[in-house]
Structure 1
């Protein structure tokens, strides 16, 4: 465990800033974050980051001592970190050192010098403590999950595998296999062939096999990759078209997913180049190239032995886990807020009792851009009313879709803060690029797609026939049309239907004749759908 420290409230930490430092075997990373108090807990908003690829594990000699060259480079990085943190107090900073410092014989000498340069204590944590903090961090920032999740983190010198439920780890292990150590051990000359890749994969399999039965017995509903290796692999798969069918959303490629198929295609690319220096892939960074083969071999071995088919990716979990640990120690004080408008409305609709933390994040983002809450209520209630009338399709997650529709209703106008012209494009851009912990990359892209398409001409949207959210888009657009006056006047009963060829709505003829503005909007909406070859019928009664 990280030792507890006596903390003192100081003027510096009243600004809500905290710093987390991870002295890893491949990279040294620092994150400065602001703590936001939400109705459902706390959220760390990243303010600044620093990263140095020191590859410290590569500086271990045969006697497990850090070389002078690697030590000099590593201490230079820590000096920069220390300079950035000069105004911070001790209860604002947590620094942990991982696998290389656990095995290096001269680690204490290094840590003593590093603490002087950094200005704060550095804790060399055990493999199990590293795994615990990784899981805690992932549990707060990974895509939402009902049930247990597996978190898999390939570091430079070790790999942590954890199963947990909620924010609590249940089963955890730290294995002595890492992307730096394996790349040096099996691909030291940069040569990549069937023989040495198989040897690396088998070595990883041997370690994972020893613990796999316990993990398979416990089981999980979601697999998460949290390391730099996992993120790099997911990006390479996405950017180089190795992931199979596209997601068919009207926004950029989401990435953030690792599949068995993608791993095999990436391995094929490596083997065909025969040497790491000749490897040319979109998105492959120079500092990642030397350690990619070892990391990929470990990832493939894990998928094979643990039976993983699909893995989502999240940010550096150890940094976030350390921040939550530090914040819990500091006893910063309870800071509760009243229930937000999103959760209040959702409970009023009566769709779900347990509200997830993503509601607070969406509300925070919307309020940053001065969302019109009264208009949101009108649009959201109407969109939800329309969705209730449509059939639930096979394999549709209606609960999650209802949430997406509510959030899209809340955020669709945030682009007005940039410009009235094409504001939906600005709204979608903001959502696509916002930090939204708890969202999968796919759901974040779907949310941006709904906001982009909620208004304007449909034939200008780059949506393929396989787009999965047509019915949600229909509900959101119709709600936008009938609520466009921004008045709380009574609306007539509007019935909607969906069939394979399109949509149909039934509305009072007498009421429409008294509301020509909305009548014009509905006729235009029907015309827009017909331009993309969807039937849109308005039946008057």
Structure 2
């Protein structure tokens, strides 16, 4: 069987750890098409499990991990490059998210990427674009999740404006309908609260002149289903249908009495909050009708994952854009990257580097001087801040954190304490990548396209031996001095560096 034959039958999986529900979709490639072969969904209400310290409760974590055990069984044996797990608002906010992520990764057998709200919006828009049957012009996409609401305006497959707002069906329901009672006063307050959050963004959305409005996610699909079953709409959601839905919810008076046709029992408790948010959007943007899409973040994750496999990685485009926008010396970045990968290749086996480690090192090398746009003094600190907090399309929060750490520690003293708080295994991998990047930067301090010496490097755990031509060292006294300085800096790390001279 050829590689192409294997790719045709390759399965891909996307797992969405949402604040309300966990979803998994497994698809198989059939030529240029994706065929869904399995779907799993469980409403775990992770976002309803926060305590007073903004930590996920044990009960919520138990529900979630039980679900992931079942998901993990389905994913077992799949290629790691064909599976992506993303965490959204609850894992962005929870103080104990790192502990939960460790447990989740054990149950799933795959890493969990926590993504920013804007990255979530990008993936939602991509998922909607991939599944739309017809293009009716510039579109506004709305996704009301459990803890956040994403709103995106775009043309075809290209998002133009992305926004993530801190309001969702779970959080709004808990805030205004916590005891299950539904009154006109509480509903009005919920709609007003959502309108207040929307207000700073309304003018921007209106100026973008969208022609088509598309809602997605479980909240929107449930609202459409109830409206259709009740005879208030033949398709999509209208201003009239949602007004009638609000009246029906008020008439029920309590979430336990929300026995509306088309509404699942599991969604009842968070339904009023989701309806209030959508009502606020209808009013704030003077909307008369919106259609509902089946595509959402999971389909977007799948499409993005396949793009990565086909060398169309959004992250590569983001790095390229950053180099251009921040006027990074591209020639110098390439030199440092090439040297880093040369050293990486010689240490790969003994330090057990992975393909993901190689990607991280390459991107850090290309962006290591991004802080120079602010100032030369302490530019490694400026660059680290930019890479950690800037919205970088395609990157998870963990990927941005790791990029930031490599750039922060690529020069001057090796501050081990900056890595504290991470898993021991992750600290070791990052420390080794930082070591490689530091050496690459030292060898390219001259910023000239001259030939590097023949570098021979080996390691026994953290004891590193570097062999260089003696004549080359004699001809490059500044680099020789820099290597001696690097030996001094590394005393505060786990590494020791021995430089040995070889005869030509």
Pair 201,221 (structure 1): closer, same or farther in 2 beyond 3 Å: same
CA distance in 2, matches of 1:294, 1:43: 37
TM-score, scaled to structure 2:
0.60
Match of 1:279 among 255, 258, 283: 258
Partner residue, 1:87: 77
What does residue 290 of structure 1 align with?
269
- Work out whether 1:25 is the aligned partner of 2:4: no
Local SS of the residue matching 2:181: coil
**SS at 2:159 equivalent:** strand
TM-superposed deviation, 1:313: 0.7
Distance 2:219 2:184 in 1: 21
Structure 2 distance, partners of 1:28, 1:170, is: 28
| Alignment match, 1:36 | 30
| Greater helix proportion | 2
Counterpart in 2 of 1:386?
A: none
Contact 1:258 1:312 in 2 (8 A): yes
User: Match of 1:25, SS?
Assistant: coil
Secondary structure of the residue that 1:312 maps to in structure 2? strand
Structure 1 contact 13–89 (Cα < 8 Å) conserved: no
Q: How does 1:343-354 map to 2 (within 5 A)?
A: none
Corresponding residue for residue 241 of structure 1 = 231
CA distance in 2, matches of 1:259, 1:197: 19
Do the aligned partners of residues 11 and 106 (structure 1) sit closer, same or farther apart at CA in structure 2, a change above 3 Å counting? Answer: farther
Pick the aligned partner of 1:107 from 97, 103, 118: 97
Alpha-carbon distance in 1 for matches of 2:75, 2:255: 37
For CA contacts below 8 A with separation 6 or more, give which structure has more relative contact order. Answer: 1
Q: 1:10 to 1:89 in 2, by over 3 A?
A: farther
The number of aligned residues is: 310
RMSD of aligned residue pairs (Cα, Å) = 1.6
Measure how far apart 1:15 and its partner are: 1.4
Q: Is the 8 A contact 2:7 2:29 kept in 1?
A: no
Segments of structure 1 that go 5 or more residues without pairing to the other structure are 1-8, 247-254, 334-541
Structure 1 residue 16: Cα displacement: 2.7
Q: Distance in 2 between matches of 1:206 and 1:295?
A: 16
Shift of 1:12: 6.8
- Give me the whole-angstrom Cα distance separating, in 2, the residues matched to 1:57 and 1:10: 42
**Gaps (5+ residues) in structure 2?**
313-504
Residue 190 of structure 2, aligned match among 183, 189, 200 = 200
How does 1:477-488 map onto structure 2 within 5 Å? none
- For 2:347, the equivalent position in structure 1 comes to none
Matched, 1:46 2:25: no
The CA distance in 1 between the partners of 2:188 and 2:17, in whole Å, is: 30
Name the SS for the 1:61 alignment partner: coil
Provide the rounded CA distance (Å) in 1 between the counterparts of 2:126 and 2:97: 26
In structure 2, the residue matched to 1:262 is 241
Secondary structure in structure 2 of the residue aligned to 1:220: coil
Instruction: Determine the structure 2 residue equivalent to 1:310.
Output: 289
Alignment partner of 2:221 out of 206, 231, 234 = 231
Q: How many Å separate the matches in 2 of 1:273 and 1:328?
A: 47
1:142–1:313 Cα contact (<8 Å) kept: no
CA offsets 1:152-187 (integer angstroms, 9 cap, x no match): 000000000000111110001000000000001100
How many Å apart are 1:150 and its aligned residue?
0.6
Deviations 1:99-125 (A, max 9, x none): 000000000110011111111111000
Pair 1:96-2:78 in alignment: no
2:58, 2:143 → 1: CA distance? Answer: 28
Q: After superposing the two structures, state which structure 1 stretch, 321-330 or 140-149, moved more.
A: 140-149
What TM-score results when the alignment is normalised by the length of structure 1? Answer: 0.56
Q: Which residue of 2 aligns with 1:379?
A: none
Q: Corresponding residue for 1:165?
A: 155
C-alpha contact 2:49 2:57 (8 A) present in aligned 1: yes
